[in-house]
Chains A and B, each alone.
Chain A
Amino acid sequence: MGFFLTNPMKEKAKILDKDTVSRTIIRIAHEVLEKNKGTENLCLLGIRSRGVYLAQRIAVCIKKIEDKEVPVGVLDITLYRDDLTLIANQPVVHKTEINFDITGKTIVLIDDVLYTGRTIRSALDALIDFGRPKSIQLAVLVDRGHRELPIRADFVGKNIPTAQNETIEVRLEEVDGRDEVVIVERD
């Protein structure tokens, strides 16, 4: 994390703690089911890396609510980015794992933070190379504003207005050892 060494970050506020993260995910699961009237043709697709864990958790919630399994796929959008040379740390290319045919399906894309919208733009490009879904919806844990593209989320965990010099960090048990969402500020 050399980036953090050269740009010291200060934690400003905790927005969601463990329990609120969990309740928020349950609510999103209910909203996804409500909007789609159940699980028929429904597939979840998590965007690497934290979107994947969110997708898996939403799938677990859906199983509890409806007693139905929904397929979960993993999307790596590195190869579709438009800013590969702009980012400080070289992203490592990971695998995309979609073990089901997406054609005709209702796909819910899942990511942790919605910001400029460019990740979602890349994800849409990637997704369409795999087939022709009936529709694509977007679920995010946090919408922090500052969109640069005409993209919006269908399901939002929490809207958090931020300044440009702030960053939202979503931490999840599976990768970070704990569940929380914090605002950090660059000095």
Chain B
Amino acid sequence: MPWTRKDLLGLEELNKDEIELILDTAESFKEVSTREIKKVPALRGKTVVNLFYEPSTRTRVSFEVAAKRLSADVINIAVETSSVKKGETLSDTGRNIEALKADIIVVRHNCSGAAAMLARNLTISVVNAGDGWHEHPTQALLDIFTLKEKLGRIKGLKVTIVGDIAHSRVARSNIWGLTKLGAQVTVCAPRILIPVGIEEMGAQVTEDIEDALRQADAVNVLRMQFERDTGGAFPEQLEYFKQFGITRERLEKAKKDIIVMHPGPINRGIEMSTEVADGANSVILEQVTNGIAVRMAVLFLVAQANEKTKRDENPD
């Protein structure tokens, strides 16, 4: 089936076939990064604007590398140095970027729904690079891509997500994507960090880390976002590590070849021990490599769909 969306806003709205198309396309793009000349001309002449309202290094750099490997031009706007500081609204900023004749905006914003709002107001493509606590679709896609690459399938897998589920767009996007592809998802965290209604998304809930790891084919360890703690809801760091940290001892009780993922940046000694982060089960750096292929696929597909829409509307 063809890809018809001009935007990628989240995995909730995608069906199984659309998710699989992105993963298959990404698989083809992965080869590009292994060439001596790591570049294809697919988006030559297109401009990608990275509009980041939150600090980010890895996601922004990953999108930048992805766009450049497709031969697009990339402009990075970090909000600390932009007119937003002078009071410009998000949609005005978006319209200005559109007036510059950019083709794709990659946006990260601390408000849930920011990317969707931009997408509604603009004719150019919008890719969500994280909106508030809502979704971070490309992170989930690269997690799923890595799992599929390692284990050959998604259907029937048992995946545990550990950590701050409540504040995590990564968890939400992963739950949508994994359940649509037929995996079983368990979330594990202190009760206070589990959002109400998470079961309705199709995830099981436990507060017992050993229970959560026992049957799991993979564990996705989320970063504790201590910077988001505004009201003392977070456990103390050492206490968290003691109760939920992924350690060698805990992995020894799990499946031998359990896959350990982390979206980064890692807080060593809080979410997982250094031993585990650098150990044989960890695929953390492969996730980074795969992130480029997944983002290349997303940029390519939205750009292609948008071009096609424009042509259908103005046939010559």
**A residues at B contact (CB < 8 Å):** 76, 78-80, 84-86, 89-90, 92-97, 125-126, 129-131
Contacts and interface: CB of A to CB of B under 8 A. Distances in A.
A96 B30 CA distance: 10
Nearest to B308: A85
Contact of A96 (B2, B24, B31, B41): B31
- The 4 tightest CB contacts between A and B, nearest first, are A85-B307, A79-B40, A90-B2, A79-B42
B304 A130 contact: no
Given A79-B70, A125-B41, 13 more contacts: A76-B28, A80-B41, A84-B42, A84-B304, A85-B304, A85-B311, A90-B2, A90-B305, A90-B308, A92-B25, A93-B28, A129-B37, A131-B36
Contacts of B24: 92
B47 to A, nearest CB: 17
Contacts, number: 50
Q: Is the interface of A mostly helix, strand, loop or mixed?
A: loop
B54 interface: no
Nearest to B4: A90
Interface residues of B, number: 25
A89 B2 contact: yes
B25 A79 contact: no
B300 interface: yes
A130 B39 CA distance: 10
A96 B34 CA distance: 11
B27 A95 contact: yes
A1 B25 CA distance: 20
Contacts of A79: 32, 40-42, 70, 300
27 contacts: A78-B42, A79-B40, A79-B300, A80-B41, A84-B42, A84-B304, A85-B304, A85-B307, A85-B308, A85-B311, A86-B311, A90-B3, A90-B304, A93-B29, A93-B297, A94-B28, A95-B27, A95-B28, A96-B28, A96-B31, A97-B31, A125-B41, A129-B35, A129-B37, A129-B40, A130-B35, A131-B36
A175 B31 CA distance: 24
Interface in B1-28: 2-3, 21, 24-25, 27-28
B59 to A, nearest CB: 23
A94 B30 CA distance: 10
